[in-house]
A and B are shown apart, each in its own frame.
Chain A
């Protein structure tokens, strides 16, 4: 292969990479909030839209899986009553709909409101808690091996 052909191949690869990079950077939009807003039915909104409640006729497990597979949470905490997903832009709780109802309710809050609302469940895990020992111990003897 002549040097000129190799040069054009390299520039072609760089061009494809640049186009793809720009496509990812400027062609992707949305957030976990917009995903939920577009997929589930909103039933409540407060605090100028920073908090909202949605419903779904799917089970909490299916909803939590759907949200977390589309937008991977930074952290997740499970509870017998549902799941908490933590994002930079939101704390999301997915729980069963009320007694006698099927499906689930999805609570979307900002960090402060979400931590406050779900303090009994995520208190100490995702923030400060009144008292020491707010995190699980963690770490096996060869952690990180």
Chain B
């Protein structure tokens, strides 16, 4: 990727930001498209740049079944453009992220589901397992950020191709220009330590508190240190046959 492509990417991002505004407010959320037009254009252009560097076409093809009523269909795009498959005559080599998302109706007892795979005509191309190993999951395709999940999975393909020695690696290019005054990182993530050890803390705290609660219950309900009940000696004597 060259400095020219970096500038192109920045300019495109600005254009997309402007284009996306009316789209975001005018289009109600539905099953399709999975990616908004501006996001799909951005993704296709990023893939086109990867194709320029690697001579491999990349694409996405997401089949949506929506039994909730907003209609079934396919959201696809590639290095060749939005709505175009990478499996085309122009592409000697192609790799496509393929996913199926099924939204059940509200009255259905079945859960929504998703699956994904990688289609390619390149021997040894990345697989779904490679994507999964890099954090792509079926659950993400059903979440609120399903579009990001599709983009993340598709954009991972060129890097995986390079990793497998099937294409040239592509480098990121750092921005060296100062940012506009209004632009800065927001939404600082939660504690890294808790993300790593949170489950262990929860389990051990549960064991500690559970043990204490159980002990308290036994202490107050079963009185383990109460004096032993006194035997009724007179009745015992009577039953033993002793008499005065």
Binding site for B on A (CB under 8 A): 2-4, 6-7, 10-18, 20-21, 23-25, 28, 31-32, 59-62, 64-65, 68, 71-83, 86-89, 91, 93, 95-99, 105, 107, 111-112, 114-121, 123-134, 136-145
Contact = CB atoms under 8 A, between A and B. Distances in A.
Interface residues of B, number: 105
Contacts of A143: 142-144, 146
Contacts, number: 289
A111 to B, nearest CB: 4
B129 interface: no
Contacts of A124: 13, 17
Interface of B: 1, 6, 9-10, 13-14, 16-21, 23-24, 27, 29-31, 34-36, 38-39, 46-47, 49-50, 53, 58, 64, 66, 68, 70, 101, 103-104, 106, 111-112, 133-135, 142-148, 151-153, 155-160, 162-163, 169-175, 178-180, 182-193, 195-197, 200-201, 203-212, 214-215, 218-219, 222-225
B204 A24 contact: yes
A18 B225 CA distance: 24
B47 A142 contact: no
Contacts of A115: 179, 184-185
Contact of B192 (A32, A121, A133): A32
A76 B183 CA distance: 20
Contact of A141 (B18, B24, B31, B159): B31
A134 to B, nearest CB: 6
B14 A130 contact: yes
Contact of A123 (B27, B183, B210): B183
A88 B17 contact: no
Find the residue from B38, B144, B174 having the highest chain A CB count within 10 A.
B174
Find the residue from B30, B156, B157 having the highest chain A CB count within 10 A.
B156
A78 B134 contact: yes
